[in-house]
Structure 1
């Protein structure tokens, strides 16, 4: 690879983007196969499930829980396969080994179990957070909206404190999401799953937490805009008809979404290697053993996947 293992630790926001695109364009056929085989079907399945959930939406908690569980069961296999395939591809490219689509698909059965366990654990955390999120939002609305009989200005101590709480709460939510997503990448490369992968994720991401927040913000807004536009068209809120202009636009967005998913997974994997490079450097610098060097330590962390 163009970047050496030591150089990866110095990648910043734009450096990680540049490295991610360089990896994708170095093997366009491979990543196209992965996108068409794993990521695009996942997107189609998710959209169909989302449409059914929107059509048969219910305010009852038990129905919401059932829909969440069905969503998990529907996207479990394609999600774990798509993430695992992309992370495996990037890892093999960094190990300078000959990587083919057949080799990657042959690796997936070996790592699918631990990745699925981490994904299930991540889903449970996300589900609990969503329930808490609904309660917090309701409380914040009551706190932030001033009573007409007692307040004439929206700028007061009560609202300022409420806004601070909201921003802190959102920051915690983003942090949890970063840890969850990063843990899945770790489960693919290292022999860790569930809580161990989460702890590893929390400790490893520290050196790039600012970059990870910015990445989450960029991709989150992109996914929000694309998903919102697609939802408006299929829900009929754009006028109830689909002319050729809207058809071309939606087709473009449907193709763009899997590509963004691919880039997001590659970016997450590059961040992992950047953090791992920093961790290995610190380990080499702090050890008193002359037998340990950067290269041997670096390869050892990839043994669970590349052996």
Structure 2
């Protein structure tokens, strides 16, 4: 990642993926260690949630089908209690490992960018110093996503109350769905940038989201395109996992050995995909900073990262860790 600031700001969709792959392969041993330690457990939790939900809570999750079919799933209070207890435990572990993975990978990518030599032990040392900041930002992000989905649910309820389920409103349904997905992708970009801002700058929570929104301006479509591709791949892997692993015996008639092999392969790819999520969001942050002419001096960034590992006692003022909010002056045109 040896590009100049002027070159960084012009990087687009394919350039961000290219830089992300280069960053991973240039430090593949370190990223492999991080993946096996933090991201692989995240993948296991993610896939275990699918397995447990389909086998133990199908009556709760599919109870809405009674609206279309005459069958009724008898769901007791105990079923709901166990279901929500499971969801709370799942989201707790998912959030914890997401925080740890984000902190480790963002720190590593920033270290590579600043030409800083780091070890796996150093990376793991900074994680406890960062996760609390990230947790505050994640709470605001979850709240924003909750509000967004509540608004969407209210809109759909009003929409259904007025138009019903008739086939003549399929186009309107499709338009509403597209608008929802676009809004969700935009929130994802803000979420990703806010997470990186929290690690690399002295900002957290709502202010980090606000800064992420500002950084997204100008590179919004690029970020949304990256999120769309990565989430599309993840969705495809989930479909493959459910068709050939979860219900492989009933639907595809696959032997257990093939289901296990496909399941392991999906787990490996999903682990790599989760790593790519965090690396691309960090590279996108660096690109957005350059696009807005906010200087990221490698020496200053290296000094700031060193504070996490107790290598320095220099504590920059809020907003000045990597020249945040101090745009570079425009380069004057040469006189001809």
- When the two structures are superposed, what TM-score results if normalisation uses the length of structure 1? 0.82
Give the equivalent residue in structure 2 for 1:77: 96
Residue correspondences, number: 286
Give the equivalent residue in structure 1 for 2:18: 18
The 1:200–1:65 alpha-carbon spacing in structure 2 relative to 1, beyond 3 Å, is farther
Aligned to 1:191, which of 202, 205, 218? 202
Contact 1:114 1:193 in 2 (8 A): yes
Please tell me whether residue 56 in structure 1 is matched to residue 57 in structure 2: yes
Contact 1:144 1:162 in 2 (8 A): no
Which whole-Å deviations, capped at 9, do the CAs of 1:245-302 have from their partners, x for residues lacking one? 33322221111110011112111110000011122x2x5xxxxxxxxxx565x65567
Aligned to 1:117, which of 122, 130, 136? 136
Give the equivalent residue in structure 2 for 1:101: 120
Gaps of 5+ in 1: 148-152, 284-293
Gaps of 5+ in 2: 64-74, 308-336
Q: Per residue, is there more helix in 1 or in 2?
A: 1
Aligned to 1:203, which of 214, 223, 226? 214
The 1:161–1:93 alpha-carbon spacing in structure 2 relative to 1, beyond 3 Å, is same
Over the residues paired in the alignment, what is the CA RMSD in angstroms? 2.8
Distance in 1, Cα, partners of 2:163 & 2:174: 7
The structure, 1 or 2, with the larger RCO (C-alpha pairs under 8 Å, 6+ apart) is: 1
Which whole-Å deviations, capped at 9, do the CAs of 1:165-204 have from their partners, x for residues lacking one? 4332332222122212321122111122111111010001
Give the equivalent residue in structure 2 for 1:272: 285
Distance in 2, Cα, partners of 1:68 & 1:206: 35
Contact 1:12 1:211 in 2 (8 A): yes
Aligned to 1:228, which of 221, 225, 239? 239
Contact 1:189 1:302 in 2 (8 A): no
Distance in 2, Cα, partners of 1:67 & 1:42: 16
- When the two structures are superposed, what TM-score results if normalisation uses the length of structure 2? 0.75
Distance in 1, Cα, partners of 2:99 & 2:219: 24
Distance in 2, Cα, partners of 1:49 & 1:295: 40
Please tell me whether residue 8 in structure 1 is matched to residue 19 in structure 2: no
Give the equivalent residue in structure 1 for 2:266: 253
How far did residue 221 of structure 1 move? 0.7
